[in-house]
Structure 1
Amino acid sequence: MAAQKTVSNSPKKLTKFSKSLIWGLSISVLLLAIFAKLSNDLLYHELETFDRVIGELIRGFDTPYLTSVAIIITHLGSAYIEIGLMFIVGALLWFRLNHTWETVLLAISFGGAWLLNTILKELFHRARPDIVHLVKAGGYSFPSGHAMVATAFYGVIGYLLWLHLRNRSKPSWYIIVLTFALIIMIGISRIYLGVHFASDVIAGYASGGVWAIACIIGLKEIRKYK
């Protein structure tokens, strides 16, 4: 009977994983297409009007209060904040919940996104906007490191929170909403503060999203064979 139950459950697990894999791959293809389009337009200098219009629109709301808020939000996408969170959340997952692979996933989501972003910036060599920067920023501009790493890192944290809280009495959908809101606000703050073009941020979202999906699918694959 136990053997029959195991066999009967296997197709269900396989079907569930296959559906998530198909969804993940489909979204990844869409995100890669967006990144490819932006990269092509960048190489052929076709982003100037788009970046100027979006940038002026966002910076048009400039007030001292919003600037202070934007600086706080942009710091949430800084490496030192994310590394600190990685150690805190990683320690909780490892020592309190004994979820070793989730801790590894968290580290890979951050480290991998940071490494890929560094490589991409070196490939495209795009200078930052030639306007006043309201925060210090160095290096190249495309794709946005804050947007890319935040999408991957906070995206994975949001997924892990959802994974552990989805079966409880309280609704878990708000975790996904808050995760997306945080990622979007970090990207917008980079445009508002004058250190990135809108296309940099969108490219960061796209590339970071692909990396987050790859990390999540990898975790699903590992959990399937545990």
Structure 2
Amino acid sequence: MRQLRRRVRHRAPLHPQPAHRGRLDDRRHGRDPGRLEPHHAGLRRRRAGDRHRGPLPARHRPRIRRQQQRLGARQRPGGPREHPALSRLQRRRALVRVVRRRGDLIITETKHGFICANSGVDLSNVERGYAALLPLDSDRSARRIRDIIKAKLGVTVGVIVSDTFGRPWRKGLTDVAIGVAGIAAVHDLRGTPDALGRVMQVTEVSIADEVASAAELVMGKSSGIPVAIVRGLDKEWFRESSMDEIVRPAQEDLFR
């Protein structure tokens, strides 16, 4: 019995564990397995007047940073109706038109072309008396982060600035890209064969949104982790792009 137990104890598991966790792809396609890492060494939640700083990762790794732009609000934060500062910020920086309104919930179109709640103005994860806003130019913010990394460390990375949006027809929130630099916003597969050889006619993959959503799993909503490092993406995805590739023009939108 002791010998049998010893043999069982040293047997290999019936279901071997994968060598890599959090993979985004596999080796069958000639790519390295992907990996997600939260990154907060030397970084903290931004405060008014802060600049980008802190140690950063190696070449060609896309980095996802959650937007943390803020403006002061003189009055005590409240709902959109009770907080005059929020209405002022919406008019000055974000709001193009109100799409729908129900109680305190306001769905708006922003100057970026995003359709989102309250023009992206958010009071969560910010100090009392401040509101988190969308960047004025989110692509420019991503390019600035990329350029700072290049200047300070001499490495080239793709940068995705993300924010949390709700979704029509589905419950639950997810992170989406609101700014990109050095990585494709959309990967166009039209004209290429699918797994059975049929030519795909309409398939365009939102790379930036998918990476942003995956990165949110390691950053979390309240952990204070502002950055995730993503490894193992296809090298073909590293190119110049902009959010114009993702935002659907109004004339093509069946619901606007």
TM-score (norm 2): 0.23
TM-score (norm 1): 0.25
Q: Which has the higher strand share?
A: 2
Find the structure with the greater CA-based Rg: 2
Higher relative contact order (CA 8 A, sep 6+): 1
